[in-house]
Every structure is written in C-alpha cells, then in structure tokens.
Structure 1
Amino acid sequence: MSSPAFDARPLTDPVDAATARAYRKQLLSTGRAPKTAGWAAGCLIVAVVGVFGLVVVNLVFRLVFAPFFEGSPPEGAGSIAIILVVGLIAVGLTALIVKAYRNGGVRWYRLDHFARANGMTWYPQASNPPLPGMIFSLGSSRTATDILRGEQPRLVEFGNYRYTTGSGKNRTTHRWGYVAIRLGTPLPHIVLDAEGNNTFLGTNLPQTFDKHQRLSLEGDFDKYFSLYCPEGYEQDALYLFTPDIMARFIDNAAQLDVEIVDDWLFLYGKRDFSTLDPRTWGWLFSVVGALMDKLAQWERWRDDRLAMPAAGAAASGVDGGAAGSAPDGVAGALPFAPPVEALRPPPGVAPSGRRLKTAVPWATILIGGAIVIVWFALQSGVFGAIFSR
C-alpha cells in the first residue's frame, strides 16, 4: 500500500448509468450486496404516493360531502391548486429517491473498482463486525458499510460504521469512520485521545478513561494527544512510543483518535472514511503508510509479567548447577546454555494490561446538566421574573 501504487482514478472516472445498473443487479442477484437498499427506496416511494393519495382523497371528500356537514367546502380552484402542488412535490420526491437509488449503484461500482486498483477487496456491508475496538461494542444496529480490506503486507481495513443508542425521540445514530490494522502480537490497551477533535465538553471518544492512567510524554506530544495506558505499563508505553513514532502520529494523524487493543491498531474519526473523495483516500493511505514500517518494532515487545519463573531459574543456573553441567544422577542434560530468545516471555499481555479502566465523565454531565437547567429557566420565564423585581 505504498503511495506510488495509489490509484484514485476509479473514484472519478465516468461511469455509464446502464453499466452501474447492471452491476448493482449482479451484486444483488449474487447476494454480495444487501437488498435492503432496494426495499428502503420502494418503501419511501410508497410512503410518498400514499401521502399524496390521502391529500387527494381528503380534498375530494370535502368537495363532495361538505354540503351535508357544517361549514363550507373549499373553493374548487383552491382544491385543484393544492392537488397540483402536492402532486408536483410527490413526483419530485419520487424522482429524487429513484435517482439516489441508481446513484448507489454508481457508488458501489466506483468503490469496488477503486479497491481492486489498489490491491484490496470491497464489501458493501457487515453487521456486528467482530472487532475489539471501543466503538464496536456500543449501542445496537451496529453496521459497517463500504468496507475496503487489504491483506498485504498486513491486514488493513477501511470502513464507515454506525450504531444507535437510546429509543424513541431520544434515539441517536452515531457515525464513525475507522481504519483497522492487524498487528503481529497483542499489545497493552493504549488510547491516544486527539486534542484537535475534542470540544469544551471533553473527549470526542464514546468512553472516558480514569485520569490516573494518563501518561505524559516528552516534547510536544501532549499538545496533540492525551495518552492513556494501564497502570504499571508506563515503561512499556515509552518503549512503544519512541520519539520517531510520536513524530509520525503528530505529522500524519493529529486529527484521529487512536486505540491499540489486543492485536489491533484502530484509527477513528467522526466522519465517513470510505467515500468517493480522492483527497480523503490519499490522506488515509499516507497515514497508514507512515505507520506501517514502524509496527515491526512494536511486535518485538514482550510483557515481562508473562515470564515463566522456571525460565529465569534456568538462565541463572538455579536448581540445576551452572549451565553446561549436569546434576548428579541426571542423564541427558543440555551441554550448553539455552538460547536467549527461548527465555523471552511469550507473545501476549497480562490481564492487568489488557483493558483500560473507564471513568464517569462527570465534567460533561455537569456542564450538560447546567445547560439544560438554563434552557428550562429561559423557557419558563424564571430569569425574567427575577430581573423584573
């Protein structure tokens, strides 16, 4: 996924409408794309036509039967004008829905061919993606769309993600774009909260972390990111975030939130990443490319907490004499010291480092509560009554 191989032409090259329709039909018939888009468009058209029909029936009913009830019927010319206006609105909305449905085929066609041109595979949709990042376990109706996945030199996935929280009038759909990079070994749970996308209410992330887990790094890094790591893993975080790696995050990903969890690295943004905009893709490819050659350094990390006591004893000659000598009565002892590599802890993370501790965002709650109280006071006229005294 080097920058010279980046080819954005399929995102902007002309696409024949008939070709796009045939392509959409093929995707739907083979089951590669969900049929929900067609059903949604059909339901919208039915709803628009239904509303138009109800208006027409209502007006006709009033014109015909109004003399038998109290009140006067509407003017004939006025009723006809209303019917024409509502009819034009219905026709316009239907045309927009049909156009959007057909343009969806063009979008799929472009993204699929863009993925192929850049050594990736495009997937239109996936429900409940099995990823361990913080955004993938929240809410309901969890859906990733327009997924582009590459396998070389390591698995990298780009996508848009939606989930919903609340119900009824309080139902909210949360929109995210993400990049998921598969690592070669599990690492401690580390979060980089980008300062550039936060608000006065606090973090842009859906979770707040215990402030005692925040680690200050050297240079200007703290101006761009707040780094959280599990308590006791401070030295491990310093090993992972060397000055050259910190510089790459600052130069390329200062507007992205970052999460390292298990054997994944995630980049998050509250916007769609998988789009038809070549500049967005160029930026995302440059971010991934800047980080890719540094990940091998991370994969040499091992958690000393997983070291086996027996290995340490063997290295020091405890309970077995000096390396190279066999205890009395024991046959087949190694006549040489075991290789140092064999004494390293196995890949993995001790339980204390696998997940950060979350916290209640009290500052956000208090500020939000104060805003609600002020709003109700303004609506009820409390302030006016106080100042009028």
Structure 2
Amino acid sequence: MTSLPPAPPTFDARPLVEPVPPGAARAFTQELKRTGRLPSASNAAIVIVGVTLVGVVVFGSMVVTMISAVFGAIMGAMQGGSLVALFGALVPVLFFGAIIAVAVVLIVRSARTGDERRYRLDGFARANGMSYVPQFGNPGLPGMIFSLGSARNATDLVRGDRPRFVEFGNYAYTTGSGKNKTTHRWGYVAVKLDVPLPNIVLDATSNNSLFGSNLPASFDKDQRLSLEGDFDRYFDLYCPAGYETDALYLFTPDIMARFIDHAAALDVEIVDDWLFLYARRDFSTLDPATWAWLFSVVGALLDKFAQWARWRDDRLAAAAAATPATPQAMIPDAAAPGTGPVTAGAVQGGGGAASTVPFVAPLDALRPPPGVAPQGRRLERRVPWLPIIIIGAFVLFWILSQLGVLGGLLGGLVGGLTGG
C-alpha cells in the first residue's frame, strides 16, 4: 500500500483581518508581561521614554517662558495695548502645543498597534495549530545570519511541530557603533530535518545586487556546483569540496523543481539538521498574502524531506565499522544438539540451523550512522574583495579631492594628452 504524503499545513487567515474586540489586545499584552513571555520594557521602549522625558523638559521650559510672555501681552492688551502683540505671543504656544499633542498621539497609537499585532498573530497561530512567541533574544540557531553582530533578537515567532518543527520569524542584529551603527533585518523560516546534512547554500539570483549576493557571507567559488536544467538560472548552489555527489543525491530533479517553483525568491541554507529560508523583509506580518505564500513554500517542500532522511555520509563508514565484537555468550554452543559450527555461508543464509542465529546484524546496521564528517559541516568562506575595492576607490577619490591633489593630477593628465 502506497503511503500518502503528509497533508500541507492548514491556513486560516481570518484572525489577521477580523475586528479585534475592544480592550482584548491590551489585555493580551498585559497577560504576556504578567507571564514573562514579553519583557515589561524593551530597549526600544526605554529609548522612547528617555527621548520623551528630554522633550518634555525642553518644551516645558520653553512653554513656561512663552506663557510668561503671553501673560504679559494679555495684561498689556487689557491696559490698551496692541492685540497684534498678544497674537504674536500666542502663536509659538499653539505651535509647540500642537507638536507635543502629535507626539503623544503617535506614542499611544504605536503602543496600540503593537498590542493589536501581537493579539492577531497569536490568534492566527492558534487557528492554524501553532503557537506564538512575541520575542526571543539571541536564538542561537546555526544559520549564517544568527551568529553576526550584536543585539540579536527574533520577534513575532510562529511555531508548529506537525508534521515536523517549523518556525516563522523576524530577526534583527546590529553591526558597527556610533554613527556607523547599522541594523540588519531578516525574515526567516527554520525547518527541522531528520538527520544532519552537509552545509549547502542556495543563493537566489533574483535578489542579488550590483555587488553580488545579498547574503551576509561569501563562499569560495571552488565550492560552486552547477546542476542540470534551468536550476542555475535561479540559484547558485554551494557545497563543501568533495560533497558534489552528495548534493546531487539530495537535489534530485523533482526537488529542484519544487525550489524553482516555490522558493526562487528566497535564499536557502542547509546546516546541521536544519533548513533555513531567508529574505530581507518581515515574514511574520499581518499580511495574509505573505502567510499564504510562506505556507505554500513549506507545504511544497515537506513531503520531499523524507528522501533526505535516508542520506548517509560514507566518510563515517570507518567509524561505523569499528563496533564492538559480538559477545561470546551470544554464540550457540557448537556441541549442543541440533547446531553446528557457524560459517560465513550460514550467516549469509546458506542453509543449516545456524542461518537463524539471533546475532546476525540487519543490513541498516552496516550503513554509516547519521551525521556529517567534519569537512562537510561548514562551507569555506572568502573575503568579498569587489565591494571592498569599490568602496576603497571612492574613499581614495574623496581624500584626493579634499587635499586638492586630484585637480592637479587631472590637469597634468589633460595637458599630457593635449600636448599643452
């Protein structure tokens, strides 16, 4: 009887768009904080509060000064002074009052938007048999984006464990410091595999830029493997040296077609027993179309991962062969009635009562154990020289122009060409 492929993940997007009961979103956020699932004050909130306090102090001092001026103008007007002076004193007060009112409205609206976002994503997760985690600091996953920079934080995680563990989330980390500080934002899908596999990267060509790949890591070109058909038009595949045959075993034509049809806009990384899908945009959103797309991608790939579970690294065969010898007590006594000496032919089923001895190993025990040899666990990385050279050329051009050397060089070059 042929086994059916696992059913695709369910999809119910109604909690993302249906009306939220009054007060429900705020109450949900308070419950998250009470149970410790959401910190009471994040770093961003602390910054906002600090900026707000500074603004209040600055504007407060200005308002006190302007109120004094308005009061003086009112007293002057009452004593027959000019109304123009009173109007001139009122304008700055009204202007700065409007700024403060707008700032308060924006802060309150931002808080309400965050509450509603969390409430909707939690409802969406539960409607689809999954769970919601508001944020998770430094998730520690083995993918290439999770070990870079500082202030690593995953947010709005939606997790499921049927038919295997899948996590959708947004992720951010920072690099540099001061004025050169940059925040990098990614959306990711993490899928748990059955066995560890070689480190393989599919760099989608559709999201590359003038400087090459948008991935945060560059890989040695010697590890690039060209596959059959149109696959190279959509992905650059990198695998560790010596694992080319293994990559061809994993990426059969039917699996390549699935990636082309459903994941051509995504970068893919296989590392240890995980598969990651990456893009430089939020994946966990309130947009039903984004979720429908991501669910279709995962659903198209899930039934193909069973093929990968059968992969074994032949480089581990030597370690598998070094198994302890069979204990002597398990070998039947040759002198016992109805038994004879155990021969190679008997072990292989060559006849005789000894062909059913209980210590004959199953064929699967002769295969290497699940795992990857050290040389296949990580790709060799390289330094991205082209962007460095281009940036260095711009910096040199700017330095020479500031020193006034560039003009002299250009003048001498023009003079040499014209013979002047």
TM-score range, shorter chain: 0.7 to 0.9
Tell me how far apart the structure 2 counterparts of residues 375 and 249 of structure 1 sit (CA, whole Å). Answer: 44
Tell me whether 192-201 or 13-22 shows the greater mean CA deviation.
13-22
User: Are 1:9 and 2:14 counterparts?
Assistant: yes
Report the CA distance shift for 1:117/1:379 in structure 2 as closer, same or farther (over 3 A). Answer: farther
Asked if the contact 2:134/2:156 (under 8 Å) is kept, the reply is: yes
Shift of 1:310: 7.3
User: Of 203, 206, 209, which aligns to 1:199?
Assistant: 209
Q: Match of 1:349, as an amino acid?
A: V
**1:310-364: per-residue Cα shift (whole Å, max 9, x none)?**
74999xxxxx9735379xxxxx998585322111000000000000010000012
Q: Match of 1:117, as an amino acid?
A: A
User: Are 1:52 and 2:59 counterparts?
Assistant: yes
Asked if the contact 2:347/2:360 (under 8 Å) is kept, the reply is: no
User: Are 1:128 and 2:138 counterparts?
Assistant: yes
Tell me how far apart the structure 2 counterparts of residues 184 and 301 of structure 1 sit (CA, whole Å). Answer: 10
Report the CA distance shift for 1:199/1:248 in structure 2 as closer, same or farther (over 3 A). Answer: same
Asked if the contact 2:320/2:367 (under 8 Å) is kept, the reply is: no
Shift of 1:374: 4.4
User: Are 1:370 and 2:393 counterparts?
Assistant: yes
What is the aligned length? 369
Report the CA distance shift for 1:309/1:164 in structure 2 as closer, same or farther (over 3 A). Answer: closer
Report the CA distance shift for 1:240/1:44 in structure 2 as closer, same or farther (over 3 A). Answer: same
Tell me how far apart the structure 2 counterparts of residues 345 and 352 of structure 1 sit (CA, whole Å). Answer: 16
Shift of 1:19: 1.6
**1:180-204: per-residue Cα shift (whole Å, max 9, x none)?**
0000100000001111111011110
Query: 5 Å matches for 1:106-121?
Result: 106-121=116-131
Query: 5 Å matches for 1:242-253?
Result: 242-253=252-263
2:228 equivalent in structure 1: 218
Report the CA distance shift for 1:346/1:205 in structure 2 as closer, same or farther (over 3 A). Answer: same
User: Secondary structure, in 3 states, of the residue corresponding to 1:285?
Assistant: helix
Q: Match of 1:199, as an amino acid?
A: S
**1:109-136: per-residue Cα shift (whole Å, max 9, x none)?**
0000000001110000001102000100
User: Secondary structure, in 3 states, of the residue corresponding to 1:359?
Assistant: coil
Tell me how far apart the structure 2 counterparts of residues 383 and 63 of structure 1 sit (CA, whole Å). Answer: 58
Tell me how far apart the structure 2 counterparts of residues 310 and 287 of structure 1 sit (CA, whole Å). Answer: 36
Shift of 1:20: 1.4
1:71 equivalent in structure 2: none
Report the CA distance shift for 1:325/1:346 in structure 2 as closer, same or farther (over 3 A). Answer: closer
User: Of 166, 171, 181, which aligns to 1:171?
Assistant: 181
Tell me how far apart the structure 2 counterparts of residues 105 and 204 of structure 1 sit (CA, whole Å). Answer: 33
Tell me how far apart the structure 2 counterparts of residues 234 and 54 of structure 1 sit (CA, whole Å). Answer: 70
Tell me how far apart the structure 2 counterparts of residues 381 and 63 of structure 1 sit (CA, whole Å). Answer: 54
**1:237-274: per-residue Cα shift (whole Å, max 9, x none)?**
00000111111111111111100000000000001100
1:254 equivalent in structure 2: 264
User: Secondary structure, in 3 states, of the residue corresponding to 1:129?
Assistant: coil
Report the CA distance shift for 1:236/1:170 in structure 2 as closer, same or farther (over 3 A). Answer: same
5+ residue gaps in structure 2? 1-5, 72-84, 325-341, 349-353, 416-420
Asked if the contact 1:48/1:94 (under 8 Å) is kept, the reply is: no
Tell me how far apart the structure 1 counterparts of residues 269 and 312 of structure 2 sit (CA, whole Å). Answer: 19
User: Of 295, 308, 315, which aligns to 1:285?
Assistant: 295
User: Of 174, 177, 197, which aligns to 1:187?
Assistant: 197
5+ residue gaps in structure 1? 65-74, 315-319, 327-331
Q: Match of 2:391, as an amino acid?
A: G
Query: 5 Å matches for 1:139-158?
Result: 139-158=149-168
User: Secondary structure, in 3 states, of the residue corresponding to 2:344?
Assistant: coil
Shift of 1:376: 5.5
Shift of 1:29: 1.8
1:305 equivalent in structure 2: 315
Asked if the contact 1:41/1:101 (under 8 Å) is kept, the reply is: no
User: Of 323, 338, 344, which aligns to 1:322?
Assistant: 344
Asked if the contact 1:215/1:227 (under 8 Å) is kept, the reply is: yes
**1:181-236: per-residue Cα shift (whole Å, max 9, x none)?**
00010000000111111101111000001111110111111111110000000000
Tell me how far apart the structure 2 counterparts of residues 247 and 187 of structure 1 sit (CA, whole Å). Answer: 20
Tell me how far apart the structure 2 counterparts of residues 357 and 97 of structure 1 sit (CA, whole Å). Answer: 47
Q: Match of 1:135, as an amino acid?
A: I
Report the CA distance shift for 1:259/1:323 in structure 2 as closer, same or farther (over 3 A). Answer: farther
Q: Match of 1:292, as an amino acid?
A: L
Tell me how far apart the structure 2 counterparts of residues 352 and 374 of structure 1 sit (CA, whole Å). Answer: 43
User: Secondary structure, in 3 states, of the residue corresponding to 1:153?
Assistant: coil
Asked if the contact 1:120/1:150 (under 8 Å) is kept, the reply is: yes
1:268 equivalent in structure 2: 278
Tell me how far apart the structure 2 counterparts of residues 78 and 369 of structure 1 sit (CA, whole Å). Answer: 54
Query: 5 Å matches for 1:77-116?
Result: 78=88, 80-116=90-126
User: Are 1:356 and 2:361 counterparts?
Assistant: no
Asked if the contact 1:215/1:234 (under 8 Å) is kept, the reply is: yes
Q: What's the TM-score, normalizing by structure 2?
A: 0.80
2:329 equivalent in structure 1: none
Shift of 1:33: 1.4
User: Are 1:241 and 2:263 counterparts?
Assistant: no
Tell me how far apart the structure 1 counterparts of residues 317 and 235 of structure 2 sit (CA, whole Å). Answer: 32
User: Of 38, 47, 55, which aligns to 1:33?
Assistant: 38
Report the CA distance shift for 1:346/1:368 in structure 2 as closer, same or farther (over 3 A). Answer: same
Tell me how far apart the structure 1 counterparts of residues 204 and 159 of structure 2 sit (CA, whole Å). Answer: 25
